[in-house]
């Protein structure tokens, strides 16, 4: 296995950098629209729990949906280094 | 066609885009900003969206409508940004050979757009308060 491949596997097993974009109520409560952070969270559910401990989010996970790299995904999808996440508050278009 | 728009909708252009010699029916829905919501006087509102996913999901809704109903074409544009009372927030237009499928598809599109697209609405009230619709109620501690 190449060193490059090994590095990739180690990254996907542990710490990774993810990019988060916030909208609406979450953006206001986070007081910023974007952040990149290092995390050991394996799934969006774990990541949201981690964030909710640090920030005054009032929305429970059950009120949100999550998008990974511009598609809706399940909360138990595996996160990879470089992923782009959006936690989606209850929508109100129209 | 589905798209988001930061500027006021040009209804004549949207109307003109839905032309077909085989279309015997055209149905359109306009959603407008109203002044009253749940007993509070609304002075203006803001729409915010997660654009890339909203546009993908909007196109999926239009495609689903074409598969479910025998229509010729359908278009939808959703406003983003700060809107005043009376402004058009969303426009849906459908053409079909006969009127029935246009009514049904139009209703399907507006209902799905409202419930599925990552678009959020913040209302500003006459009393100075404001709130994100559907986001404040899950937790009563929000102002």
Among B53, B110, B119, whose Cβ lies nearest the Cβ of A92? Answer: B119
Output the pTM of the full model: 0.90
Who's near A27: CB < 8 A, 6+ residues apart?
A33
Q: Which of A35, A68, A18, A26 is nearest to B52 (CA)?
A: A68
Looking at residue B102, what DSSP letter applies?
H
Let me know: does B9 contact B92? Beta carbons within 8 Å: no
User: What six digits make up the tokens of B96?
Assistant: 């079909």
Nearest to A91 among B31, B90, B118 (CB): B118
| Number of cross-chain residue pairs from A and B with Cβ atoms under 8 Å apart | 85
A64 touches chain B (CB under 8 A): no
Q: Which chain B residue's Cα is nearest to A63?
A: B138
In order along its 143 residues, chain B shows pLDDT tens digits of: 999 999 999 999 999 999 999 999 999 999 999 999 889 999 999 999 999 999 999 999 999 999 999 999 999 999 999 999 999 999 999 999 999 999 999 999 999 999 999 999 999 999 999 999 999 865 433 33
CB contact at 8 A, A9 and A73: no
Please report the sign of the dihedral spanned by the C-alpha atoms of residue A50, residue A55, residue A59, residue A63: negative
pLDDT in tens, A57-78: 999 999 999 999 999 999 999 9
Chain A hits for B116, Cβ within 8 Å = 91
Angstroms from B133 CA to nearest CA on chain A: 6
Quote the CA–CA distance of B16 and B20 in Å, as a whole number.
10
Question: A86 touching B, CB under 8 A?
Answer: yes
Q: Give yes or no for a contact between A68 and A45, defined as CB atoms under 8 angstroms apart.
A: no
């Amino acid at each position: 296995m190449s060193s490059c491949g090994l590095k990739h596997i180690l990254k996907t097993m542990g710490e990774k950098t993810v990019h988060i974009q916030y909208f609406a109520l979450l953006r206001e409560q986070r007081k910023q629209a974007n952040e990149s952070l290092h995390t050991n969270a394996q799934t969006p559910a774990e990541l949201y729990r981690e964030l909710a401990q640090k920030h005054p989010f009032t929305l429970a996970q059950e009120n949100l949906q999550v998008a990974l790299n511009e598609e809706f995904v399940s909360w138990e999808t595996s996160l990879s280094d470089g992923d782009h996440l959006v936690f989606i508050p209850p929508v109100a278009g129209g | 066609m589905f798209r988001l728009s930061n500027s006021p909708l040009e209804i004549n252009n949207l109307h003109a885009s839905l032309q077909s010699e085989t279309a015997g029916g055209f149905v359109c829905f306009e959603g407008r900003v109203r002044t009253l919501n749940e007993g509070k006087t609304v002075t203006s509102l803001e729409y915010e969206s997660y654009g890339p996913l909203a546009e993908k999901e909007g196109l999926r809704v239009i495609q689903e409508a074409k598969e479910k109903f025998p229509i010729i074409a359908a278009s939808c544009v959703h406003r983003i940004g700060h809107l005043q009372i009376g402004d058009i927030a969303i426009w849906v237009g459908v053409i079909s050979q006969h009127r029935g499928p246009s009514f049904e598809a139009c209703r399907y599109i507006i209902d799905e757009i409202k419930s599925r697209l990552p678009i959020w609405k913040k209302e500003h009230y006459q009393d100075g308060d404001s709130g994100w619709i559907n986001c404040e109620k899950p937790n009563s501690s929000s102002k």
